[in-house]
Structure 1
């Protein structure tokens, strides 16, 4: 029986969904740099060329990963209990998205660097606008709120010093050592960084992105757009 099950698994046809699930698992384990068409084919036990039928090259693979992450966010949002008002609803949505990002720390950089925007992203933000309009906001304030939310709506804060869209990556240890050397010239920045070092128990997605900072910023923005609505 076990052998039969194994044979069925071995004969499982290759599909886009199966390939993307394996790609996500590989990226989670080793990061995006380890993800190549050849490596993914090896993980799936197929020839590299057979992947091209489902995923047209590396860019198609990365686009598929972006779509998969957005799908996970949508599913996570759907699993949360319905909120009673626009503020609680948006906060819940953003925190649900963040849980997905914490599970895929490579995803913020991926979403920030795609040349095209997956339809799922548009649909996701459409739902945010719908929540705002249902909460009594005007289209003008809803538009400004989207600009203010930025990537926070997708569960992460874009890094200031290492923009993923530019392919940047901050070596945290080197950056902190450099700041220490420049303490005399940058006293306020270095003092702040020393005081605000992330707690090891505080989930983070980058040098300037921790759970505490994320929730603080989300709450600040929600309070602000609420005031703008009545202004």
Structure 2
């Protein structure tokens, strides 16, 4: 109940403004009562991140159990991105957190085993999955900076204002890159994930 309330508060105020004291107020309990469960904001964030990944775990594997390892990797990446986007600052919250249970790990174990069955060494499987994981978290951190809430673009990422600041002669490519870098994130994510998968194929 406390962790769920923490995620609700995260959606309202963002990661910086999330505090144990503020959460206690939302729950209508005394702060010391909450400190009995979580000694610090870091402990609360660990539990929140664990719940987000656990809830998203089912979406990290193909629904119909596809045999193609590349499908498993793409599903893992896209499912992870979807899970992180469900909450404001979801990627920043998960980055660097420590899991408090093994639900998410049970799913990544399944994906890793599928890669090993497909001929990857354990090291290759770990490197590939960790690459997808790290890229996805970083990607969504940037995505959520541009769109703190779904469909609400931050004024700091106004594409026309960015374009107007760049001299056409000195930065012709940069002027055209705004729409690629700061819009249509799902399309760019799929393209980027495809590059990672194709890189893994060439290493196999």
Normalised TM-score (structure 1): 0.68
1:23 aligns with 2:6: yes
Matches of 1:42 and 1:99, distance apart in 2: 30
Where do 5+ consecutive residues of structure 2 fail to align? 146-153
In 1, are the aligned partners of 2:77 and 2:133 still within 8 Å (CA)? no
Deviations 1:92-111 (A, max 9, x none): 22222222122113111122
Shift of 1:178: 4.8
1:189 is matched with 174
Compared with structure 1, are the counterparts of its residues 144 and 36 closer, same or farther at alpha carbon in structure 2 (3 Å cutoff)? closer
Could you say which structure has the greater relative contact order, defined with CA pairs below 8 angstroms and 6 or more residues apart?
Answer: 2
Matches of 1:83 and 1:59, distance apart in 2: 38
Compared with structure 1, are the counterparts of its residues 157 and 27 closer, same or farther at alpha carbon in structure 2 (3 Å cutoff)? closer
Compared with structure 1, are the counterparts of its residues 190 and 138 closer, same or farther at alpha carbon in structure 2 (3 Å cutoff)? same
Matches of 1:62 and 1:170, distance apart in 2: 28
Higher mean Cα deviation, 18-27 or 81-90? 81-90
Compared with structure 1, are the counterparts of its residues 193 and 154 closer, same or farther at alpha carbon in structure 2 (3 Å cutoff)? closer
1:221 aligns with 2:196: yes
1:180 aligns with 2:164: yes
Matches of 2:112 and 2:62, distance apart in 1: 20
1:118 aligns with 2:118: no
Matches of 1:32 and 1:103, distance apart in 2: 14
Shift of 1:27: 1.0
Matches of 1:84 and 1:125, distance apart in 2: 16
2:128 is matched with 145
Higher mean Cα deviation, 84-93 or 146-155? 146-155
* Aligned partner (choices 49, 53, 69) of residue 32 of structure 2: 49
| CA RMSD across the alignment | 3.2
Compared with structure 1, are the counterparts of its residues 153 and 25 closer, same or farther at alpha carbon in structure 2 (3 Å cutoff)? same
In 1, are the aligned partners of 2:73 and 2:111 still within 8 Å (CA)? yes
In 1, are the aligned partners of 2:115 and 2:125 still within 8 Å (CA)? yes
